[in-house]
A and B are shown apart, each in its own frame.
Chain A
Amino acid sequence: MQKEISTKKIFSKLLEKFETISGENTFNCYQCGCCSAACPVASEMDLLPSQVMRYIQIGLTDEVLNGNTMWICATCYACQARCPRGIDIATVMETLRQIKLRKNEDWTVLGKIDVDELNKLPPIALISNLRKMTG
C-alpha cells in the first residue's frame, strides 16, 4: 500500500509532544540499527526499535502507536547502552507508551483486571500504567 507522507504530518504536534517528553531529537537517529541488533526481544516486535525511530522520522506515527513494539520492550537498556548517537531508546519506548496511555481512552483499575488477562498483559504495560502522568 502506498503511504502518503508530508512534512505537515512529520513535523506535527505529536512529534513536538514526543520530543518534549522523551527529550530526544528524532532526526538525530541515523538508522544504524545498533539498537535493533542489541534488543533481546526484537523477534517478537512488529517494528524493530530502529524502525520505530524511522517511522517517526517520516511521520508514520499511527503505525508506531498501533504497533506492539513499545509493549514488548522490556526496558532492559541494551539499545540505549549502545546507541552511537546517544539516543535514549528505552526512554523513547516509554514516551510512546505514555502518549498512548494519556489519550484518556479508558483507565485501569488494577484490582479489577482478572487473573487471566493479567497473565497475558506485558508487564511493561502495567508499569507504564502506574507511571502514567507521573513523568
Chain B
Amino acid sequence: MTENKNDKKIGVFVCHCGINIASTVDVDKLVEEFSKYSDVSHTENYKYMCSDPGQKLISAAIKKHKLNGLVIACCSPTLHENTFRRLSENSGLNAYLCEIANIREQCSWVHEDKTEGTKKAIKIVKTIVEKVRKNESLTPVEVPVTKKALVIGAGIAGMQAALDIADAGKKVILVEKSPSIGGHMAQLSETFPTLDCSQCILTPKMVDVAQNPNITLYTYSEIEDLEGCVGNFKVKIRKKARYIDEELCTGCGICVNKCPSKKALDEFNVELTTRPAIYVPFPQAVPNIPVIDKENCLFFQKDACRICEKVCGPKAIRFDQEDEFIEEEVGAIVVATGYDLLPITEMREYGYGKYKDVINGLQFERLLSASGPTEGEVRRPSDSKIPKDVVFIQCSGSRNPEYYKSYCSKICCMYASKHAMLYKHRVPDGHSYIFYIDIRSGGKGYEEFVQRAQEEENVVYLRGRPAKVYQEGDKMVVWGVDTLSGQQITIKADLVVLAQAIIPRNGVEELIKKLKIQTDEHGFLSEAHPKLRPVETNTSGIFLAGCAQAPRDIPETVAQASGSAAKALTLLSIDKIHHLPIVATVDEDLCSGCEICIGTCPYSAREIDEEKKIAIVNEVLCEGCGSCVSACPSSASQQKNFTDGQFEEMIKAILE
C-alpha cells in the first residue's frame, strides 16, 4: 500500500565519509536544504554514519521522530545499503523504507568544485527523497534451496571443489567436457617448486572423485541449458555419444590397439603424436572408457571397418548411440573451465608455428613426462634427436598489448625455470637458456627455485625479448638481446620452447552466455569484487575457480577452489534463502493478457492465470530485472518500489 505523502516523516542523514564527501560537498548546506521540506522530520550530518555512534544517532532519530522513511546520503549502496537497512529494521522501520543516496562515488569522488558538487548532491538526495515518499514496506520472498551443487570442468580446480562439497555431505554433479577428468595437470611432468610428479599427486584425487558416492560424474558432457536462479537452478546436460556402452565396456583396450585409423592428432600429447580413432586419452583416464572420434573413424566417414566392434569381447561398441540429455536441479554452481595456450600459429616473430622444433610449454611437458611420447627422454619433434641447446622464451604472447595479450600469464616464469632445470636433469651435457623480461617468483619457495636454476643448474638467464626465430640448416636461430650487458645475442638452438600466454579455455564463451555471467576484456570470468568477493560471480549462486578466472598455478588454484566450495556450501547449508522483494507486479485491472511479458521474462517467472486471463508473476523466480515492466504495453506491469509514478517524480526532481 502506498502511504499518503502527508503522513510521511522522512529522516535525511548526510555522511561526511571523513573528507571523502565533505571536501567536495557542503554537508551543512545539505542539512539546511532538506530541513526545509515539510515531510522531512529530521536531518543531520555526521562524520561517519556507518560507525557505531553514527548508527546510534540514526536509530535514536527513528524512534524519537517516529520516522517512516529514511534517506542515507553516503557511499554506493553496494557497500552500506545492507548496514542501514538492517539498522532500520532493528529500529522498527521496514528495511525497504530506507534508501541510499550515493553522493560519494557518483558525486564527491568525481568532482572537484565544491559549489557544483554540493548542487549535484542536493539533486541526488532530492530524487531519493521522492522515491522514499512512495516506497512501500516489503517482505523478502522466501525460497527453498536445492541442496546439490553443479561443478563445471574437472581439472584440478573443479575436482577440488567437487571433493570439498561432497566431503561436506552434499551431492555434486560434476560435468567435464573431455573424455577424462584431470585437466591440464594430468599433462604436466613434474611440478614446481618441489618437482613432485604431477600425475602421482593428481591420480589419487581423480580416483577419489570417481569413487565418491556424493559425486555424479558426467564426462564427455557439456551444459546445454541453464534456467532458474540462486538456490534453484535447472540444468540440462548433453552427454555426448561415446559410441560405447559404458555399462558393458571393461576398459580392456583391445579396440584401441586394433583400430587401423591412427592419423588423428593426439590432444593429450598436444599434437606431438597421433592416436587411433577409438581412444582413451591417457592410461590413468577416469573413466577408463574409450570414445570414438567420429571425424577420424572409418565407419563414420566411409562406412567401412567396424574392427572395434568385431574385437570387442563384451560387445560394447554402439555405432548408433546418440547424445543423451540429462536434467538436474542444483542450488549452487562452480565454474572451473580452465585455460588454453595462445596458439603458436599466431606468433609472427617466432615462425607462425611452421617450425617443428619451436614448441609450446605443454608440449615440452609431454616430452619431459614419463608417460609422454618419448617416455621422458627429451627428443625434438623434427628428427627425434636429443637437443643439446634449448632456448626458452618467456612472455611469448603475454605482456604484449600491441599484438597479443596485455596481461602477465603469471606462471611462465616459474615453469620456464622448471623446464630448464628438468631438461638439465634429463640431458646433463645440454645447455639451456632462458630469455626473460622480469622474473616474477612471488610464492612460497619460488624465488629459491629460480635461484637454484641459476646457481646450481647452470641455466643461463638472458634479459630481453627475442625479436625473431628462424631456421638455418637443422638449427633454430634465436635473435635476442641481453639488455643488462647491452649486447645483441644470437643462439643457434636445437629446440625453442615458447611460454605461450594463458588464455581462457577455447569455446567457453558459449557456456558463459548460458550461465549469464560476465567476463573481463580477455574472456576470463569476472569476480564480483576483485578484493572482497574473489570467488563469486556477479550472478548470485555462481562461483568460480582456477584458471577460468585468471592464470594461476596449482596451489593457488586449489586454494581458490576450496574457497568456492566453501561459498557454495554456505549456500547449500541453509534451508531457505531470502530473495529481494523488489519483484514485478501486475495490475489486474490494466492487464489485457496480451502475453508479451511472458516471452520477455528471461527467468520464466511469468505465466497466464487461465481463469482470470491475465499475467501473473512467480515471485520466487522473478529477479526484478524489469524487462516485463518496460515491455508491457498497458503499463500493467510495475516493479515494487520502482514504479512509474516514483520514476516520474524522481526525474522531475532532477530537472527542477
Contacts and interface: CB of A to CB of B under 8 A. Distances in A.
B488 A42 contact: yes
Interface string B339-379: 00000000001000000000000000000000000000000
Interface in B472-498: 479-483, 486, 488-489
Contacts of A125: none
A35 B463 CA distance: 13
A43 B490 CA distance: 12
B291 to A, nearest CB: 40
A50 B467 contact: no
A38 B463 CA distance: 14
A128 interface: no
A37 B401 contact: no
B488 A48 contact: yes
A37 B486 contact: no
Given A48-B486, A50-B481, A51-B486, A36 B464 contact: yes
Interface string A70-83: 00000000100011
Interface stretch (A4-12, A26-34, A59-67, A97-105): A26-34
26 contacts: A30-B437, A32-B399, A32-B437, A32-B465, A33-B482, A33-B483, A36-B481, A37-B468, A37-B479, A37-B488, A37-B489, A38-B467, A38-B468, A39-B488, A48-B486, A48-B488, A50-B464, A50-B483, A51-B486, A78-B467, A83-B402, A84-B399, A84-B401, A84-B402, A84-B465, A85-B401
B349 A82 contact: yes
B335 interface: no
A85 B402 contact: yes
Given A32-B464, A34-B467, A83-B402, 8 more contacts: A33-B463, A33-B483, A36-B464, A36-B488, A37-B465, A38-B468, A82-B467, A84-B465
A47 B483 CA distance: 11
B477 to A, nearest CB: 12
Interface string A39-59: 100110001101100000000
- Contact residues of B: prevailing secondary structure: loop
B300 interface: no
B402 A34 contact: no
Interface string B428-468: 00000000010000000000000000000000000111111
- Of B400, B401, B465, B468, the most chain A CB neighbours within 10 A belong to B465
A23 interface: no
Contacts of A123: none
B424 to A, nearest CB: 25
Interface residues of B, number: 23
A122 interface: no
Nearest to B402: A86
A32 B482 CA distance: 9
A84 B400 CA distance: 4
Which among B466, B486, B489 has the greatest number of chain A C-beta atoms within 10 A?
B486
A35 B479 CA distance: 11
Interface string B279-300: 0000000000000000000000
A73 to B, nearest CB: 14
B403 interface: yes
B480 A37 contact: yes
Interface string B487-514: 0110000000000000000000000000
Contacts of B480: 33, 37
A23 to B, nearest CB: 15
B15 interface: no
Contacts of B400: 84-85
B395 interface: yes
Contacts of A78: 467
